[in-house]
Amino acid sequence: MLHNACIMDSYMCGIKYLRTEMQPKISIIIPVYNVEKYIAECLESCINQTLKEIEIILVDDCGNDRSMEIVKEYARRDSRIRIIQMAENQKSMLARFEGAKVAKADYIMFLDSDDFLELNTCEIALQEGFDYITFGMFRYCQGKRRKLFIFNHQEFLSLKDYSNWLYRQKYPNLSMVGKLIKKDKFLKAMDSFTKRKISMAEDVMVNFFLICECEKFLNLSDVLYNYRLNMASTSQTNNLKKIKTNYQDLEFVLSTIQNASNKNQKIASLYLTQLKDEQQKTMCKIKSIEGRLSFKDKLERFFFKKSFALRRKIRVKLGL
């Protein structure tokens, strides 16, 4: 199924432009699905980067709005834009994978199509010699933004050192955005587990395997990514069928990380704890919608949250 994704050249898209021979230093990969309201802002933040040696890979994940019409109009004006057509909707993890497989740069950056970058993101983030570079994120909502993730400038020259640091973070950033990644490390990580179409917790799963492949890590103090709070997203839905699918996805991700926990037991423990909290919360939501959330369920959720908070305090303060 994944092999049916194809690169659309300028003529297949009905677009004709001059191609440059520039070797990109960063490939920005953007899955596109029903974001006609936001895609222009997303693309503007890419084409106007202060670092010009980039390519912008748009992965058409088979939406049904005008998103790709807008993308193709931008492609007419900027030859750095490449379009990949998925055979059918595969969700962001598999769409990113297809984009990474054809990326020309050694470094890749994932950008959600309803988010946008600061104009100097690529220039600042490009720190060669590191495998995994993380930078700060703004949370953007209704025209206002606040800092969501902030880091001190810090280098980690071994997986062990980075794991020890990450384990003690109160609110770890487990997403695949807000990062610059060595492409070969990402592709190797994606070959480490069974891939399937999922909508929930896929970033956590990929991030776990990616970290296990990396050796040199860098946190930047700059805040360079704008994350748009989207109330229509999968995690915010009240649709019972979608919530049940989310629960199944969580089970799959939990099982996948548990089976590979020997790769990095400390990070696996951190990620699994976060996932189990989300899993229990999702089940309570399902039962509530179905009208079968019992007092026992509420009590179990209450004590789980208390236990989760206590274990987090111990983890952050003592590293245990």
pLDDT tens by residue, 254-263: 999 999 999 9
pTM for the full model?
Answer: 0.89
Dist CA 169 CA 146 (whole Å): 19
Domain boundaries, the chain: 2-236, 241-318
Read off the pLDDT band of 141 (50, 70, 90).
confident
- The pLDDT assigned to 1 comes to 39
CA distances to 77, 115, 121, 177 from 49, in Å: 15, 15, 7, 17
Percent of the chain with pLDDT over 90: 85
For residues 57-70, give the mean pLDDT: 95
Residues 6+ apart with CB under 8 A from 180: 26, 107, 108, 109, 122, 125, 126, 127, 133, 135
Check pLDDT > 90 for residue 210: yes
- The pLDDT assigned to 15 comes to 35
| CB contact at 8 A, 183 and 107 | yes
Q: Please give the CATH architecture assigned to the domain spanning 2-236.
A: Alpha-Beta Complex (3.90)
Please give the residue that has the higher pLDDT: either 142 or 201: 201
Read off the pLDDT band of 142 (50, 70, 90).
confident
Check pLDDT > 70 for residue 187: yes
Read off the pLDDT band of 140 (50, 70, 90).
confident
- The pLDDT assigned to 105 comes to 97
